[in-house]
Amino acid sequence: MPRVKLQRFNDNATRPDIIEPGKPEYEQLGGRWRTDFFRAPHPLTLEVGCGKGEYTVGLAQRYPERNFLGLDIKGERIWRGSTRATEMGLTNVGFVRMRAEALAAQFGAGELAEIWITFPDPRPRDRDIKRRLTSPRFLDLYQQLLAPNGLLHLKTDNEGLFEYTLETLAARPGARVERFTRDLYAETGAEFIEAQAIQTNFEGKYRAVGVPIKYVQFRLS
């Protein structure tokens, strides 16, 4: 393992804003993230597949009255998000290293107020449908962990994943699409301002070559 990468993993092991396997809190915070981790009773928002944490940190900066967690399996990516949050002096943001499939083991029922899914792997092959982060398997997980009437957001550059998500929600009893667009930055309505307010580096690269960003906001119950 390269020395820099190893040092970042060592950093993660000592950082209080990062929860990962091997730390005593890893399996003890379910249902108690706000009281035991943030020590603030604010609504909790989770970004699933946060990558380098740009969106999670951006949300935390924009909404200091809320708590934010970024979830990703890659320790080096989480290190970058943690470093950025620390440099900005943010105390309402944290990171957890785990796979999205294990969400139910790390969060209590109804613990989340909101979930963001930003530019996930579209998993285009048919055999990988169940691994898509908006497949029924994952929607079931989200519904279990969201508070009643909790809100979800998907931003993606991938047309296939976007259409799949809309079709899946249309077929799901109780699901309700609040708003959607196939070209987010062409929208001028106030209802899209929040989704436009934060732009990741990845998102900027796609916009620079003319790829429209798709967005859908929805509820599961």
Judging by beta carbons within 10 Å of its beta carbon (0-12, 13-18, 19+), is residue 125 exposed, middle or buried?
exposed
Residue 54 annotated in ligand binding: no
d(CA 196, CA 36): 32
Residue 107 annotated in ligand binding: no
Our answer to whether residue 121 is catalytic in this structure is yes
Residue 187 annotated in ligand binding: no
Residue 76 annotated in ligand binding: no
What sign for the dihedral angle of Cα 85, 74, 31, 55?
positive
Contact yes or no for 90/57 (Cβ under 8 A): yes
Residue 114 annotated in ligand binding: no
Torsion over CA of 51, 53, 59 and 64, rounded to 10 degrees? 150
d(CA 213, CA 207): 7
d(CA 139, CA 115): 11
Residue 203 annotated in ligand binding: yes
d(CA 165, CA 130): 12
Catalytic residue among 36, 121, 128, 183: 121
**Residues recognised as catalytic:** 121
Question: Which amino acids are annotated as binding site for substrate, given as ranges?
Answer: 157, 200-203
Question: Which amino acids are annotated as binding site for S-adenosyl-L-methionine, given as ranges?
Answer: 47, 72, 121
Question: Which amino acids are annotated as binding site, given as ranges?
Answer: 47, 72, 121, 157, 200-203
